[in-house]
Amino acid sequence: MRFEQSEALKRLPEQFFASLVGKTQALKREGHDVINLGQGNPDQPTPDHIVKAMQQAAENPDYHKYSPFRGHQFLKEAVAKFYKREYGVDVDPETEVAVLFGTKTGLVEISQCLLNAGDSALLPDPGYPDYMSGIALADAKPHFFPLLEKNHFLPDYDAISDEALNLSKLMFLNYPNNPTSAVATREFFDETVSVANKHNICVVHDFAYGAIGFDGKKPTSFLESEGAKDVGIEMYTLSKTYNMAGWRVGFAVGNSSVIESLNLIQDHLYVSLFGAVQEAAAEALLGVQSAVDMLVETYETRRNALVKAARSIGWDVTGPKGTFFAWFKVPDGYTSEQFADLLLNEAHVVVAPGKGFGETGEGYVRIGLLDEPERLEEAMERVGRLGVLKK
C-alpha cells in the first residue's frame, strides 16, 4: 500500500543540488581524484576546548534527562554576553533569545510562525534555497528581489514595488551573503530598519557567516542598527564560526514577539537540545576565541590563493569579502549549469551552479574555500587546461 504525501510536502521545492551530489559520488566511485568545492560544509574540526567541554558535560546525569523546553538558562545568558562583547548589543536572555536546532531549522520554522496561507514574503535572488522550504510549508507566496553586482549584491529597496512591500509580512536577508560572498554596511541595515518600519515587515537576518570577514573588516550585525529589534531578529549558527556544523546548534535573537513564536512552535516539536551540547555551545561563545581568529585567517589565505590562481589562468574574478565562498562569473557561451558540468566531467572539479540559488544567480558559480590552498590552486590549473578562459 502506498500512502499519498500531504499537500504541504508536495509544495516543497526540489533539492537542486541533489543531482550534483550524485554525479560527484559517481566519479569518486570510479576512482577519480575529485576536488569538491561545491559544498558548504566546514572542513576543519571543532576546537579542542569545545570538544572537551562536551565530553565532560556528557557525564553529567542531569543532562541525561529531558532538557528545559526552551533551552538552559546558562546558554541564553551566554548568547547575551556574546552579543554584548562582539557587537555592543544588549539582549534580554529571558525574552529575546531562542535556542535552535541549527539555524536551518529556525529559518524554516519562522515562516510557519508568522505567515498564513496566501501571505507574501520577500526573498533574495540568489539566496539560500531553504528559505523557500518554510514558505512552501506555510503555503505562502515568495516575492524575489534581485541581488545585482552593480549594487554590490545588496537589494535596491527603491526597485521593489510598493505593492510587494505592503503585502509582505516577512523579509529574509543574509550578510555576509551566501552565495555572493557580499557584505553589508551599517548604513544598509539602517535603511532596512526604515523600510521595515514603513511597511510593517519582519526582518529575518541570517547571520550564518557573521565571524567570517576579510581584510581586517568585521561583519556588521543587523542588530547594531538602532530600532532593529523593533522590526526583526537575527539568526546565528555555531556551525561556521566554531566548526560545529554536525552539532546542530544555533540561536535567534531580537524582537521578543518573534522569539516567543519560535519558542512556541518548538515547544510542540522538540524538548530542546541535549544539555551537554548546550554547555559546549556556551563554552564556544564565552571561551577563548583564538580559534575563530585562526579560522578566519585560514579562509583568507585560501581566498588569496584561489583568486591569484584563477587570475593566472585568465579568469577575471573578484575576490570575496566574507563567507567561505567565492562567486565567480562563468565564461561567455556557457550557462552556469553547463560550465559546472564541464568542470565536473572534464576537470573533476565540483562547483555549484549559480542557477541553483535563483534566476539571478545565472551566469555565476559558487566555489567553496573548503580545501587547502594547494588543492584550490590545482583546481584552477585543471580549469585552465580546459582552454575555455582567455588570458
- Kindly report, residue by residue over 319-373, the tens digit of the pLDDT: 999 999 999 999 999 999 999 999 999 999 999 999 999 999 999 999 999 999 9
pLDDT band at 389 (very low <50, low <70, confident <90, very high): confident
Please tell me the predicted confidence (pLDDT) of residue 98. 98
Non-local CB neighbours of 29 within 8 Å, separated by 6+ positions? none
Domains 7-46+290-385 and 48-286 share a fold: no
C-alpha cell at 318: 573578484
Please tell me the predicted confidence (pLDDT) of residue 39. 85
Burial class (CB in 10 A: 0-12, 13-18, 19+), 45: exposed
Q: Compute φ and ψ for 255, nearest 5 degrees.
A: -50, 125
The residue-averaged pLDDT of 4-23 equals: 85
Q: Compute φ and ψ for 70, nearest 5 degrees.
A: -105, 20
User: Is 136 a residue whose pLDDT tops 80?
Assistant: yes
pLDDT band at 18 (very low <50, low <70, confident <90, very high): confident
- Among 31-45, 65-79, 153-167, 351-365, where is mean pLDDT lowest? 31-45
pLDDT tens sequence across 267-324: 999 989 999 999 999 999 999 999 999 999 999 999 999 999 999 999 999 999 999 9
Domain segments of the chain as ranges? 7-46+290-385, 48-286
pLDDT band at 253 (very low <50, low <70, confident <90, very high): very high
User: Is 166 a residue whose pLDDT tops 90?
Assistant: yes
Q: Compute φ and ψ for 389, nearest 5 degrees.
A: -110, 140
Architecture of domain 7-46+290-385: Alpha-Beta Complex (3.90)
What's the chain's average pLDDT? 95
CA distance 199 to 203: 11
Q: What are the C-alpha distances in Å from 44 to residues 53, 175, 239, 292, 318?
A: 18, 22, 11, 11, 25
C-alpha cell at 105: 531549522
pLDDT tens sequence across 62-84: 999 999 999 999 999 999 999 99
Assign a CATH topology to domain 48-286: Aspartate Aminotransferase; domain 2 (3.40.640)
The residue-averaged pLDDT of 245-253 equals: 96
DSSP bridge partners of 364: 329
In contact, 37 and 368? CB cutoff 8 Å? yes
Q: DSSP states of 287-333 as a string?
A: S--HHHHHHHHHHHHHHHHHHHHHHHTT------SBSSEEEEEPPTT
Residues 63, 65, 67, 72, CA torsion sign: negative
C-alpha cell at 244: 560545529
pTM equals 0.95
CA distance 245 to 247: 6
Instruction: Find where cell 526540489 sits.
Output: 14
Q: What are the C-alpha distances in Å from 271 to residues 1, 47, 231, 266, 387?
A: 33, 27, 28, 8, 55
User: Is 391 a residue whose pLDDT tops 60?
Assistant: no
Q: Compute φ and ψ for 371, nearest 5 degrees.
A: -155, 170
Name the amino acid, one letter, at 373: P
CA distance 322 to 341: 26
